[in-house]
């Protein structure tokens, strides 16, 4: 737990001018890192650790991240995960910048004062204007969690899982004004497990991306990365638009595999939700429950005969929901509004004999 004085120091020191603290070593190339969520901290760790090695020829001269925002269910305004992580490393608070927009002149002035050789972005979350991209001598490189030109956009991991891909990867590419369209320096392929969820896959890809970045830094610094970087094939572009809360509803008219992939893709945020009917046969009462569907699998019992009443049944460890195409979705974990996540057996016990039907 951080003290209130430390929290205040963090809030008031983010946007202090860097000019007073930009005394970087003349022997080391200044690199500026841009990132915001927890997965970005993996990349920051890799850069800080590599820069601290005896034979390193670069240093992290500054960090750029999103401004403090409401987190922990909106109760507190807190620094971004990357800002918090950097401060825990002992990184100078006056070299952590949190502009609302990356095109703000005061911020760009501070960035110019640092004279960065290279900028590195990893899930920064802000559009970089041309006047930003012109500042670093060697350009800006981005770690993107897909095999570009596939899944350009804000939600590459979620959309890839939603599509049920068996393979994805992470790309290291130069940043240009067009979204995720720059030449690709290198990439790493990753097999996708049938049950991995978006947060875990995202963490894995940024871990691989960190290794890729450190491996390719020498070629970026000596200029050979510019020569070997491959232009993207625009004919193969697919897009990964931002996920919206409205997409979180499940429709059991779709096949179980489609729904299972959606549950994996939207895990964490926004999650997946469904409405089911609860019947009490003793008094005939009917109630509609809204459930958050946490963990699923596709039933391997083969094709089934759809019962007329669309009953939701139970097997050990799962509630079984009939879906489109004579398929079944086995739901292993659920969450009621305001309650903790429970497994299917615990949920069944809470029904006290009442029956479930899909709507």
Looking at 35-39, 66-70, 82-86, 103-107, which range is the least confident one?
66-70
> In the prediction, which pLDDT does 235 show?
98
What is the DSSP annotation of 187-221? EEEEE--TT--HHHHHHHHHHHHHHHHHHHHHHHH
Packing angle, helices 198-222 and 38-51, rounded to 10: 30
Would you call 73 helix, strand, or coil by DSSP? Answer: coil
Count of alpha carbons within 13 Å of 37, Cβ hemisphere only? 9
Q: Is the pLDDT of residue 7 over 70?
A: no
Share of the chain above pLDDT 90, in %: 86
DSSP secondary structure letter of residue 118 = E
Which pTM value belongs to this model?
0.90
Q: Is the pLDDT of residue 305 over 60?
A: no
> In the prediction, which pLDDT does 9 show?
36
Please give the domain boundaries of the chain with CATH numbers for all domains.
4-236 (3.40.50.170), 245-358 (3.40.50.12230)
Residue-wise pLDDT tens digits, 28-70: 999 999 999 999 999 999 999 999 999 999 999 999 999 999 8
> In the prediction, which pLDDT does 308 show?
59
Q: How many CB atoms lie within 10 A of CB 188?
A: 15
Over residues 227-242, the mean pLDDT reads 98
Q: For residue 4, with 0-12 CB atoms within 10 Å meaning exposed, 13-18 middle and 19 or more buried, which class applies?
A: exposed
Structure tokens at 348: 């069944």
- For residue 307, what pLDDT band results from cuts at 50, 70 and 90? low
> In the prediction, which pLDDT does 11 show?
41
> In the prediction, which pLDDT does 18 show?
40
Structure tokens at 131: 């006047």
Residue-wise pLDDT tens digits, 161-213: 999 999 999 999 999 999 999 999 999 999 999 999 999 999 999 999 999 99
Over residues 11-29, the mean pLDDT reads 49
Q: Is the pLDDT of residue 226 over 80?
A: yes
Residue-wise pLDDT tens digits, 123-172: 999 999 999 999 999 999 999 999 999 999 999 999 999 999 999 999 99
Over residues 268-286, the mean pLDDT reads 94
Q: Is the pLDDT of residue 14 over 50?
A: no
CA–CA distance, 35 with 83 (Å, rounded to integer):
9
> In the prediction, which pLDDT does 310 show?
86
């Amino acid at each position: 737990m951080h003290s209130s004085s430390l929290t205040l120091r963090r809030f008031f020191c983010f946007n202090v001018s860097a000019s007073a603290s930009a005394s970087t070593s003349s022997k080391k190339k200044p690199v500026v890192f841009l990132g915001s969520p927890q997965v970005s901290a993996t990349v920051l760790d890799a850069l800080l650790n590599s820069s601290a090695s005896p034979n390193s020829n670069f240093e992290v001269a500054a960090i750029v991240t999103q401004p403090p925002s409401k987190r922990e269910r909106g109760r507190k305004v807190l620094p971004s995960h990357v800002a918090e992580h950097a401060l825990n490393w002992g990184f100078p608070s006056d070299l952590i910048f949190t502009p609302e927009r990356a095109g703000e002149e005061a911020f760009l002035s501070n960035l110019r004062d640092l004279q960065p050789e290279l900028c590195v972005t990893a899930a920064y979350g802000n559009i970089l204007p041309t006047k930003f991209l012109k500042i670093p001598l060697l350009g800006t490189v981005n770690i993107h969690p897909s095999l570009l030109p596939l899944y350009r956009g804000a939600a590459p991991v979620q959309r890839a899982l939603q599509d049920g891909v068996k393979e994805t990867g992470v790309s290291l590419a130069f940043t240009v004004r067009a979204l995720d369209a720059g030449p690709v320096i290198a990439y790493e392929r990753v097999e996708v497990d049938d049950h991995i969820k978006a947060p875990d896959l995202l963490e894995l890809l940024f871990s691989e991306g960190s290794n890729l970045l450190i491996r390719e830094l020498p070629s970026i610094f000596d200029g050979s990365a510019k020569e070997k970087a491959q232009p993207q094939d625009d004919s193969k572009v697919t897009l990964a638009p931002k996920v919206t809360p409205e997409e979180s509803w499940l429709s059991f008219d779709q096949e179980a595999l489609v729904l299972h992939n959606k549950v994996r893709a939207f895990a964490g945020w926004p999650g997946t939700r469904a409405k089911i009917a609860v019947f009490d046969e003793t008094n005939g009462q009917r109630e509609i429950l809204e459930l958050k569907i946490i963990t699923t699998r596709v039933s391997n019992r083969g094709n089934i005969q759809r019962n007329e009443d669309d009953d939701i049944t139970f097997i050990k460890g799962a509630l079984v929901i009939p879906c489109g195409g004579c398929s079944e979705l086995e739901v292993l974990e659920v969450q009621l509004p305001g309650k903790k996540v429970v497994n299917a057996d615990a949920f069944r016990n809470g029904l006290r004999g009442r029956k479930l039907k899909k709507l």
